Amino acid sequence: MTPTAGHRRLQLQLVDLAVALSLTAVYAGFVRMGSGDGQAHYTGPLWTGYLIAAAVGLPVAVRRRRPLLVLAVVLAALATASLLDIVREPYAAAGFGAYLVGLAEPARRSVPALAVALTVAGGAVYLGEAVVTPAEDPWGAVGVAGLVVLVIGGSWGAGRMVRGRRADTLRRERRRSERAVEEERLRIARELHDIVSHNLSLIAVKAGVAGHVADADPQGARDALKIIEETSRSALAEMRRTLGVLRGQGAFLGADGSLGRGASFGADASLGGGQSLGPDAPLGPVPDLGGLDALGVEAGRAGTDIRFAVHGTEGLAEGARVTVYRIVQEAVTNVVRHASPTRCRVTVAADAREIRIDVVDEGPPVGRGRAGHELPGGHGLLGMRERAMMYGGRFEAGPRPEGGFAVSVRLPIDGERNT
């Protein structure tokens, strides 16, 4: 329980105690009240009357702990007080008890409790008013009993209404939490896909080159293996950083390994934000548009000549910059995987309305077959589409009539510029 919740609970308990003492004092006054107002009054021993007054009021102090028991004790005391002509108000103590029963107890217990309470209270008031000490005609007694029933039933109904609203709020919070978990899982899947797909594609291309030239050009094969080694180390470091972030967020992991509420991995789909979350998670800077040159160098090692044209992106927010980088990275990875060696042109431009991303390649060399930019079961184009949809943008991809392949993404700005 949080300090705020504990303080709130203590306040409510103090309020209940004040109400309990007030009701006890009021009923003690009823015990000593004579017949000056012309109504029937209590004539028994004072100690008995005071005991009944205590049984009516004091249990209200603990109504939040044992709602059903409190209602039963208060109701029995009030019924006795009605038959002894002590009661001169419409069962307020029973109303306080009934409210907590409606609020805290499930329907299978609170509904029967309400039915018993209404029957006992109505019957006791009618008997006290019309039979034991007739102070009203039968219809008058029915009216008084009806008022008591209305107080108890209305209090119970108010408790049920508050319970229902709280349950609706809890369901909404749970659904929101579940959506947050799914979004975090999707972000992690995208991030891991981007890391693994890009680096393994480069490794696969260079491994093919090494195998092709191993006999005729041993130095070329060694150069290719050197690139494979460097790329492998880079991929392992990136994976270690990503998994280190997940370990650092372990407090938010559920028993099934799913991310719970409160997990946060930086802007948009980026992981870490460059913050160190533990000794096992040495994090580097979050990749964004500043890393496009390095991306071009890596693609060049696989034989893909990339030309970048970036305009108007200086004021973009961090989340948008990371998203643009990841889309470009995935598009370039597809070019390396399916068209290298080739030439590719990447254009990123932003204005006041949108960010435009175009990645166009010339296709594989003449005579080399092409299976398409996305092999069966791949997730590259799907990942780019999901990133675009997350920003409410548009995504198009497909072969060009003149040859090659084109990816086009449009992301609305919507306040994504830093001020």
Structure tokens at 322: 């990371």
Averaged pLDDT score across all residues of the chain: 78
**One-letter amino acid for residue 171 of the chain:** R
DSSP tag of 359: E
Q: Is the pLDDT of residue 261 over 60?
A: no
pLDDT of residue 238: 67
Please check whether residue 17 is in contact with residue 61, taking contact to mean a CB–CB distance below 8 angstroms.
yes
Calculate mean pLDDT across residues 324-335: 86
pLDDT of residue 177: 80
Angle, helices 107-127 vs 138-213, to 10°: value is: 170
pLDDT of residue 413: 83
**Residue 245's pLDDT band (cuts 50, 70, 90):** low
Residue that has been written with the tokens 């398409």 in this structure = 372
CA atoms within 13 A on the CB side of 118: 17
Strands 354-361 and 405-412 turn out to be antiparallel
Least confident stretch, 21-30, 105-114, 192-201, 258-267: 258-267
Q: What is the CA radius of gyration of the chain?
A: 38
pLDDT: which is higher, 376 or 239: 239
- Domain ranges in the chain are 3-172, 287-419
pTM: 0.53
Least confident stretch, 28-42, 98-112, 164-178, 343-357: 28-42
Q: Is the pLDDT of residue 120 over 90?
A: yes
Q: Could you tell me the strand order of the sheet in which 354-361 lies? A: 304-311, 342-350, 354-361, 405-412, 394-399
Calculate mean pLDDT across residues 98-109: 94
Q: Is the pLDDT of residue 145 over 60?
A: yes
Calculate mean pLDDT across residues 248-271: 38
The total number of residues written for the chain in this structure:
419
Least confident stretch, 46-55, 116-125, 157-166, 244-253: 244-253
**CATH numeric code, 287-419:** 3.30.565.10
Calculate mean pLDDT across residues 366-373: 53
Calculate mean pLDDT across residues 66-85: 93
pLDDT: which is higher, 107 or 3: 107
pLDDT of residue 55: 95
Please check whether residue 295 is in contact with residue 334, taking contact to mean a CB–CB distance below 8 angstroms.
no
pLDDT: which is higher, 39 or 85: 85
Q: Is the pLDDT of residue 5 over 90?
A: no
pLDDT of residue 206: 67
Residue that has been written with the tokens 């028994």 in this structure = 44
